[in-house]
Amino acid sequence: MEKEHARGRVRVEPSHKRIRAYLGQELVADTTHPLLVWEVPYYPAYYIPSSDIRAELVPTAEIDHSPSRGNADVYDVKVSRATARGAARRYPVSPIEEIRHAVHLEWNAMDEWLEEDEPVYVHPRDPYTRVDILASSRHVQVVVDGETIADSHQPRILFETGLPPRFYLPLPDVRLDLLTPSPTETHCPYKGTASYWHLDVKGHHYDDFVWMYRTPRPESQKIAGLAAFYNEKIDLYVDGVLQERGRTKFS
């Protein structure tokens, strides 16, 4: 049963996925009873039952305080090949009873996370985030500094919980002459790995302005090889109507 705690609005919910974490190619945790804990409102973290931790947790004598979760004992995570300093926290006297016997492993301190047998990146998937990708014939124009850099009648529109619709466009409908490849890559737990282009238009340079998922996750195959833009940073016309720029963390 889901519970929400007023102090800091921390939500705790059991998950039924098998979750594994690895460090130095060695198993750190393996559980079929993880907890999803919304420490921040945007996505959850995994808390692992103490009995399902396989690595050695070495006390550091440090205490980390959270207004909502209480005091945490901080541990190094040690396996035979590697040590992740300060990468584990336990809240034995937390006001949130469900997490008192669980361990929070720092996501980025681990080398690999698996949900069942599939790798997952950036953070756990939120069971309340939905991604729908729909084919459309709407007329989409992308304008930057008064220059049209994309014009398409065959977008794929990606609807993702909590974000404005994203319009993914075929490359022939994009001004590729204005783009240069970027070495940047980002990862999304729902869509996969994105690669980027810089944009140069009318003497202005915009870093990592356009992105593409070349080999997206199976559930997001409809956007494979299509280019997308941040609605928050462009003049976006849909069927001739200028869209309002939303305010998100990408603004």
8 with 115, same domain: the answer is yes
Last residue of a domain, one of 90, 119, 148: 119
Residue range(s) defining the domain that contains residue 16: 3-119
Write out pLDDT tens, residues 73-132. 999 999 999 999 999 999 999 999 999 999 999 999 999 999 999 999 999 999 999 999
pTM: 0.82
The H-or-E segment that residue 208 falls in is: strand 204-212
157-201: pLDDT as tens digits: 999 998 889 999 999 999 999 999 999 999 999 999 999 999 999
Query: Residue 10 is part of a domain; what is its CATH number?
Result: 2.170.150.40
- One domain, residues 156 and 220: yes
Query: Which of 119, 141, 157 delimits the end of a domain?
Result: 119
Residue 201 tokens read as: 């238009």
Asked if 224 contacts 215 with a C-beta cutoff of 8 angstroms, the reply is: yes
Q: Are residues 108 and 159 in the same domain?
A: no
| Tokens at 244, concatenated | 């309002």
Residues in the chain: 251
Contacts of residue 153, defined as CB under 8 A and 6 or more positions apart, other chains included, come to 137, 138, 139, 140
Number of folded domains in the chain?
Answer: 2
